[in-house]
A = this chain, B = another copy of it.
Amino acid sequence: MTTQTDGLMQDWALTADKILTSAAAQFPDTRIVVRREGGDIGRSNYAELEQNARRIAHALHNFGISGSDRVATLMWNNYHHLLTWYGVMGMGAVLHTLNPRLHSGQLAWIINDAKDRILVIEKGFTGLIGEIADKIPSVELILIATDDVDVAPIGNIPTKTLMEFAGGVSPDTVWGGFDENRAGSLCYTSGTTGNPKGVLYSHRSNFLHALVANQTNAFGLSAMDVVMPIVPMFHANAWGLPFIAPMAGAALVMPGSRLDGGSVLELIEQEGVTFTAGVPTVLQDVLRIITERGSAPETLRRIVIGGSAVSTDMVRAFDAFDIRVIHGWGMTEMSPLGAISMVLPDEAALGNEEKLARRCRQGRTVFGVEAKIVDEAGKVLPNDNKAAGALLVRGPAVVKRYFNHQKDAVDADGFFDTGDIAKIDEHGFIQLVDRSKDVIKSGGEWISSIALEDALCSHPSIRRAAALARSDEKWGERPIVILEVEDDDPLGTSDVIEHLRPLIPKWWLPDAVGFAQLPLGATGKIDKMKLRAMLDGSEGPELIPTVPVKKETA
């Protein structure tokens, strides 16, 4: 047997069912606490979750769902979402998380691209789906997670309650037993260039991402932790936490739809949350409250903040309460964790400002993510915190090709271009300096400048439109738009807003509108760099504020 080339260890596929089954065996009584739709608290544990997820798996199997079929969810972070998450993946189908913050037209586009066969929604989204029920022919059934006994069809699509669908079914069913390269979940990135793009995660990529993201250099969760994912499950897998928490035997606290600082804080204190993760907006609100009252939750030790930049003020303010803010960076295409502000042995020796500056960079890549910055010729640039280049990444949890695309999204060396421009310092801390595609990030969610411009240009009087980010204390960034209108065609800000309202989500509505002749580049496209310079200088148009729009949720 001198030609024995392969190792002789066991075949053991890295599949999602094993994560939950392991938690049910090792941590059966560990808490899962959920803020339900009505605001009251529900309680379960990993043993129950596994049994009920198997029931969902069984019912899906009975319905005729099989490998590669997509089952979509439209839910906040709650128990039913976890159930569906594991029920769908556990039986080998694809769990597709939909973002309820999208405009119904975008939702329909995504559902059609994914050809979802079943939608699982919470009751509050019945109206949203009602708007598009006649435009999503692939959907054969809508399951509603509700305590109600009867539910009405939505449009012509039949509905059932989740309980009706799976409640009476045995948990003894198909569960795991497939290849780890099998597709496990699907998440669309609301891309900056045209249509959203689907990232089709494999069981392997999800599993390895969880193992890597939970190294002690990164999340480092253990059975001693109580974890609250504020970041939604439809937002890049809630950064892997629905996999990581059961893997580590950590208790899970799911905040449902109530993401205001007060509700989140109440749950943190009631349940002894030790670790939470979300975008800055919500956590800024939590910080405001604890600062006002002068006391922080006793158990809370770490907050991972991602989705947009973190301010040194925020880090410093949480430090004062002995709560460590850990800034992370990632993207849907990376499952999502790419980098995290890892603690290094030299940190104690750094000056305070230097330390804070480092901690507010996007962090060092986690083990299992290779990253480099390159110039326009593809030459690797040095890690000197000066050179800025396109940030390219490679790893087992990084996308190779988008769903339904015909070409790979990686270069000849297998690297994926993040679309970000970054610097890297001598210790490996990445700092994003620009986005290649001028996306606007509001409250941690992306607003596509191009989609916004397209909507504007559909108005007969608008010739050209440019959507730009303006920094905003509360939301990070908010969109403003500069319009070039047809000659002598009068157009007011309210006309613009009324035109946009049915076309885009409310929170995409621009905060200000300006009118100007837009500078064009060589290829006839709007030169945004020049436009920004005009706005910064004296040549820019007057920016007329629109009526402020309250964003429904963070």
B-contacting residues of A (Cβ < 8 Å)?
A: 1-12, 14, 22, 25-26, 67-68, 115, 179, 181-184, 199-205, 208, 211-212, 214-217, 220-224, 247-249, 335, 342-345, 364-365, 367-368, 370, 394-404, 410, 414, 416, 428
A216 nearest in chain B by CB position: B222
Nearest chain B CB to A381's CB is how many angstroms away? 14
Taking A8-B202, A10-B205, A22-B367 as known contacts, 7 extra A-B pairs with beta carbons closer than 8 A to each other, sorted by chain A number, are: A4-B403, A6-B179, A6-B181, A8-B402, A25-B370, A215-B222, A216-B216
A214 nearest in chain B by CB position: B215
* Bound Cα distance A5, B178 (Å): 11
Contact B10 A414 (CB under 8 A): yes
Given contacts A4-B68, A214-B216, A216-B248, contact A399 B9 (CB under 8 A): yes
Contact A6 B182 (CB under 8 A): yes
Contact A345 B396 (CB under 8 A): no
Determine the chain B residues whose CB is within 8 A of the CB of A215 once the complex forms.
211, 214-215, 222, 247-248
Nearest chain B CB to A383's CB is how many angstroms away? 9
Determine the chain B residues whose CB is within 8 A of the CB of A224 once the complex forms.
343-345
Main secondary structure of the interface of A (DSSP, over half): loop
Contact B216 A400 (CB under 8 A): no
Contact B396 A9 (CB under 8 A): yes
Contact B344 A3 (CB under 8 A): no
Contact A365 B26 (CB under 8 A): yes
Contact A220 B216 (CB under 8 A): yes
* Bound Cα distance A343, B250 (Å): 12
Determine the chain B residues whose CB is within 8 A of the CB of A345 once the complex forms.
223-224
Query: Per a CB cutoff under 8 Å, which of B7, B10, B179, B404 touches A200?
Result: B7
Query: Per a CB cutoff under 8 Å, which of B10, B205, B344 touches A399?
Result: B10
A415 nearest in chain B by CB position: B10
Given contacts A12-B394, A249-B217, contact A7 B181 (CB under 8 A): yes
A414 nearest in chain B by CB position: B10
Determine the chain B residues whose CB is within 8 A of the CB of A1 once the complex forms.
403-404
Show 20 residue pairs from A and B whose CB-CB distance is below 8 angstroms, ordered by the A residue. Answer: A2-B115, A4-B68, A5-B68, A5-B182, A6-B183, A6-B202, A8-B199, A8-B200, A8-B399, A8-B402, A9-B204, A9-B205, A9-B396, A9-B399, A12-B398, A12-B414, A215-B248, A216-B222, A217-B248, A223-B344
Nearest chain B CB to A428's CB is how many angstroms away? 6
Contact B367 A400 (CB under 8 A): no
Contact A9 B214 (CB under 8 A): no
A178 nearest in chain B by CB position: B5
* Bound Cα distance A351, B370 (Å): 47
Contact A217 B212 (CB under 8 A): no
* Bound Cα distance A8, B414 (Å): 13
Determine the chain B residues whose CB is within 8 A of the CB of A249 once the complex forms.
217
A113 nearest in chain B by CB position: B1
Determine the chain B residues whose CB is within 8 A of the CB of A214 once the complex forms.
215-216
Nearest chain B CB to A203's CB is how many angstroms away? 7
Determine the chain B residues whose CB is within 8 A of the CB of A394 once the complex forms.
10, 12
Contact A221 B216 (CB under 8 A): yes
Given contacts A26-B428, A215-B248, A222-B217, contact A8 B400 (CB under 8 A): yes
Contact B10 A416 (CB under 8 A): yes
Contact B403 A9 (CB under 8 A): no
Contact B400 A248 (CB under 8 A): no
Query: Per a CB cutoff under 8 Å, which of B223, B343, B401 touches A343?
Result: B223
Given contacts A8-B402, A10-B396, A14-B396, contact A217 B223 (CB under 8 A): yes
A185 nearest in chain B by CB position: B7
Given contacts A68-B4, A115-B2, contact A400 B10 (CB under 8 A): yes
Determine the chain B residues whose CB is within 8 A of the CB of A4 once the complex forms.
68, 183, 200, 403-404
* Bound Cα distance A12, B368 (Å): 9
* Bound Cα distance A316, B221 (Å): 26
Contact A9 B217 (CB under 8 A): no
A199 nearest in chain B by CB position: B8
A6, A344, A401, A428 interface centre (most CB from chain B within 10 Å): A6
Contact A400 B9 (CB under 8 A): yes
A212 nearest in chain B by CB position: B211
Query: Per a CB cutoff under 8 Å, which of B67, B204, B222, B364 touches A220?
Result: B222
Contact A5 B183 (CB under 8 A): yes
Determine the chain B residues whose CB is within 8 A of the CB of A342 once the complex forms.
222-223
* Bound Cα distance A247, B395 (Å): 14
